[in-house]
Amino acid sequence: MLTALINATIFSGDTKSEGRSVLIENGLILAVTGPDDVPADAQIIDLGGHSIAPGLIDLQIYGSGGELFGGKPTVEALAQMESDLFKQGTTGFLATVATNSPEIVEQAISAAKAFRSNSKGNFLGLHLEGPYLNSKRKGAHPEKFIKKATVSELKRWVDAAEGEIRIMTIAPELQDQEVLDYLAAENIVISAGHSNASYQEGLSFFGDKVTAATHLFNAMPPLHHREPGLVAAIFRQKPFTSIIADGIHVSYPMIEIAKRQLADKLFLITDAVTATSEGIYPHILNGDRYVMPDGTLSGSNLSMWQAVKNCVSFAGIELEEAIRMASAYPAAAISRQHELGYIKPGYKANLIIFDEQLNLKTSLMEGLTS
């Protein structure tokens, strides 16, 4: 069926245009047209001047609605995340597993494969954050499970995953070159995070196999005028870099600075968790943030759309660019920019609709609302 969303402001990922229409057929964008070019046989949906933008993409989230996939990885947890995130405008996400035992990682791989055939389409795969981190920058990750990577263990996981692992956050300065070579050859995005790398180490590995950095400023050496460290290397080499725009994990002035330095390589994540007392990650909601029982700041209490609004309201970023930070740029970070993150002919009709006050009204997955 041909559907026309008419009378809308369209944030395409490239341009902003008013009074336009989006034509959708078989789950794909057919065209973006003027009001006089809508086919007579199309099903018309008048949006009354609301705005349309690409669906949001979260490349790091652990759980939702009391189901912490990152600690207890089940098919049910993935289904909960998929349903909750779709309602929040997130039409693509990587379910994330933090540092844990090999058994938990393998359970996550099994759950991802089992869920794949039942996914509505917004589950894009797995992000393994750890266990190959630097214990000096462990944050909320338990040190007893942090270790150095081996190709043999990686190969076992990658072979079992059959393409479900899309990103791995590691501390590259502690890994052998053969590990980086192997992950790159398997088309897994290597992201530097929970790292204590020096400036020179960062220049080296960002110029090689490492193409991304995880939650800028968090779990890495602070920028220092005599020891510039990993942050300065990120600003110099400009890998795709995620940031948590909640004003808690990173202050808004620092988000402004990072945006000026990284431009279209800075993208939003939620790093969101959910309240749970199970497993080794008992996240407790303390006001506007989640903490561990010892008070250590853990994941966020953030949605992608709220991150977009925070960037607009508090970090001096234009709405059109903030939307790109939550859609086009994360799509590019995982090499899906040719089908996701834009409103263009041939792209998936994964869309959000919102009003002038930035209230989210509807999410569409391949043109459908459910």
Q: Are strands 189-192 and 165-170 parallel, antiparallel or unpaired?
A: parallel
Told to judge if 84 belongs to the known catalytic residues of this protein, a careful annotator would answer: no
Q: State the burial class of residue 205 (Cβ atoms within 10 Å of its Cβ: 0-12, 13-18, 19+).
A: buried
> How is residue 298 annotated by DSSP?
-
Lookup: tokens for 353: 């609709």
Catalytic residue among 46, 271, 288, 294: 271
Give residue 117's identity as a one-letter amino acid code: S
CA distance 245 to 169: 19
For residues 126 and 161, the answer to whether their CB atoms sit within 8 Å is yes
SS3 content of the chain, % helix, strand, coil (to 5): 30, 30, 40
Dihedral sign of CA atoms 341, 325, 162, 111 in order: negative
- Give residue 114's region: left, alpha or beta (phi > 0; psi -120 to 50): alpha
Cβ neighbours around 336 below 10 Å, total: 16
Tokens of 252: 């808004």
Which residues are the active-site residues? 271
